[in-house]
Amino acid sequence: MFAEGVVKSYNTERGFGFIAIDGNKKDLFFHITDFPNKSIDPKIGEKLKFRIVDEQGKLKADNIVRLDVKIESVDHFDSANRRRNDYSQHQNSLSLNTQNRNSDHRSSQNRNANNRHSQNRHSRRRHSDNTQSSGGFGVTIVGLIVIVGLVYMIYGKYQRAQLANQPAVQIQQVATPANSNPSSSSNSSSGHYTCDGRVHCSQMNSREEARWFVRNCPGTKMDGNHDGEPCERDSRW
């Protein structure tokens, strides 16, 4: 049969004490070895539940149950549960925050990827437009060069056709005396006359021949007045 009482005294060094029981004037002996939890010293006024046994003619408490410690243990268990719950909630909150940050990070990465994709698409479009513009400009230059070449070819053919249609002109070189001096004329005609011994006008074939003989051959008798003009009375000239 179990009885209840409170710790009245306890000797920490020797490990024993006494329990006060209601309605009993004599205190009951107990030893720390009979406590279920020996690591926690009994406290004055602590409620206990126990069995009273006879050991070698002396009564003592046995099978001691610490009622206050049990309550404290329950409180401690509840507090531990609350701490575990708080810790679990804290971990869940951290996990949720981490997930949110990861989600925000992935969203930011997706936005950055979309922005880069959009920028690359615009860049390719601008490059394509520039390429088309450059290609059109190059085609324009090539077209102008081709047109100029065709015009040059057509103009060359036209000039050659005009030259082919023109009549051939024979250029004759007309020998003109260097001056009007009779001596120069006689000199230019010196290749046709020679001093062959003729000295009279009747022997001349032309006045020019007579002039040449008078000026170049000795002993002529065709210029009686010595004015340089021979055969003045010859009716043939």
Whether residue 172 has pLDDT greater than 80: no
pLDDT at residue 170 greater than cutoff 50: no
Q: How many CB atoms lie within 10 A of CB 193?
A: 19
The amino acid at residue 9 is S
The per-residue pLDDT for 46 is 92
| Percent of the chain scoring above 70 in pLDDT | 80
The Cβ of residue 72 has, within 10 Å, a number of other Cβ atoms equal to: 14
Structure tokens given for 90? 């804290």
Every domain range in the chain assigned CATH 2.40.50.140: 1-129
Residue entry with tokens 């001056």? 179
Judge contact between 8 and 20, C-beta under 8 A. Answer: yes
The topology under which CATH files domain 1-129 is OB fold (Dihydrolipoamide Acetyltransferase, E2P) (2.40.50)
Tally Cβ neighbours within 10 Å of residue 64.
21
Distance CA 14, CA 32 (A): 9
Residue position matching structure tokens 């000026």: 215
Model confidence at 195, pLDDT cuts 50, 70, 90, reads very high
Q: What's the mean pLDDT in 76-98?
A: 74
- What is the average pLDDT across 200-219? 92
Name the residue with tokens 């040449």: 212
**Neighbour count for residue 135 (Cβ, 10 Å):** 10
Model confidence pLDDT, tens digit, residues 123-169: 777 777 766 666 667 778 998 999 999 998 998 888 888 777 765 44
CA distance 224 to 200: 11
Rounded to 5 degrees, what angle do the CA atoms 125, 131, 134 make? Answer: 140
Using CB atoms within 10 Å of the CB of residue 222, give its burial: 0 to 12 exposed, 13 to 18 middle, 19+ buried: buried
